[in-house]
A and B are shown apart, each in its own frame.
Chain A
Amino acid sequence: MTWQDLGKEFQKLRTEFRGSLPAKLRRLRSLWERIDCEEPDADALEILKREVHTMAGSAGSFGLPQVSKFAAAAEAALEGLKEGSRPGVKRAAKFLALLDKLDKA
């Protein structure tokens, strides 16, 4: 592989990452719905925490610092939420507002 090929591949990965964001955000909303319900799913909370953490850590490296910032805030908004317990109204409003910001970022 030449340096130019690698450079193209590098750019392609950045483009792919941007393209994958809408589906990732849909998944975050779907995971949230499994938590903010009558019978909260403990596994969904763990997956959600991992996925926002991963997004916070990687988006900036793909040229999307705002996405990293809002995802880190979303991760912080989940701190202290116990597995199997339904989030409170305030926490839910905060988390969903951050997902809306991520949609627009």
Chain B
Amino acid sequence: MDEKAVYALARKGTAELNSAETSLSALELKVLVLIDGQANLGRILKTFHEHPQAEMLDLLHKLKKADLIAEGGKDSGGGEHGGIEASGFFSRPVFAAPGTAEAEAAAQSDQTLELLKRNGYVVRIAKRAAEERKLAKGEKITVLVIEDDAQLAKLVRIFLMMHELVPRMAANKDEIVAALRLAPKPDVVLLDVVLPDIDGFDVLARLKQHPILKSVPVIMMTAKASREAVLKGLARGADGYLTKPFDVDVISQAVKSVLGIR
């Protein structure tokens, strides 16, 4: 492969990032998000430096063969339980301490991501669950909605109820902890990034490190509409990323997709 070759999303790749139902792996998704019509092989390899070069080359070849990316050109688009022990949820450290090798690697990665800032980046990503989930008669899906905009939160709440999903709302740090302590455990979390007293990416990292909650799919829904932000979410384990503003219909599609409900 030519190191200077520039990669762009093909029409199919753009569609995949907006389908709210993708079966691509996390790494494949991250590569698709990175590719902006200006990304060359060098930048891709640098961004994913923790993966062997041969693996990345194979992956690019696979994406190209599947018509998801093309060389050259401009970007064409853009179980129930008794409650959770959530004390200390926001006090335990989740990121590497400054000065450690992990922190340096993260800083280097962030510098690369800094290059990717673009305004107006729109995606509707939701990973399709590997297995289909059949709901038992009367079984309800609980959706924890973490959103501080009261008007949008109300809109999402009503919309979820219209789709027979059970919304549980939280708008700040204390409400998040309280909502997580309730039984049943949420089936899925819709998470805003910009919250009044906590960063949504921090909440995501804590959820994904929690022994019980780590298996709960998290869909970011945020006006942080840049490749950098989307990559950050996917890198921290988000199962979906919906850039705002969105049509509320996309929420039910994304929720069903990550839960494997047909």
Contacts and interface: CB of A to CB of B under 8 A. Distances in A.
Contact of A76 (B119, B148, B159, B248): B119
Interface string B235-249: 000000000111110
Interface stretch (B67-75, B135-143, B150-158): B150-158
A16 B154 CA distance: 11
Interface SS majority for chain A: helix
A3 B223 contact: no
A1 B192 CA distance: 27
A7 to B, nearest CB: 7
Contact of A13 (B154, B222, B223): B154
Contacts of B245: 56-61, 65, 68
Contacts of A6: 158, 161-162
Nearest to B250: A61
B161 A58 contact: no
Interface in A1-47: 1, 3, 6-7, 9-10, 13-14, 16-17, 20
A99 to B, nearest CB: 18
A53 B194 contact: yes
B183 to A, nearest CB: 23
25 contacts: A3-B162, A7-B162, A10-B155, A10-B158, A13-B151, A13-B154, A13-B155, A16-B151, A17-B151, A17-B155, A54-B148, A54-B194, A56-B223, A57-B223, A57-B244, A58-B149, A58-B151, A58-B152, A58-B244, A60-B246, A60-B247, A61-B155, A62-B155, A65-B245, A72-B120
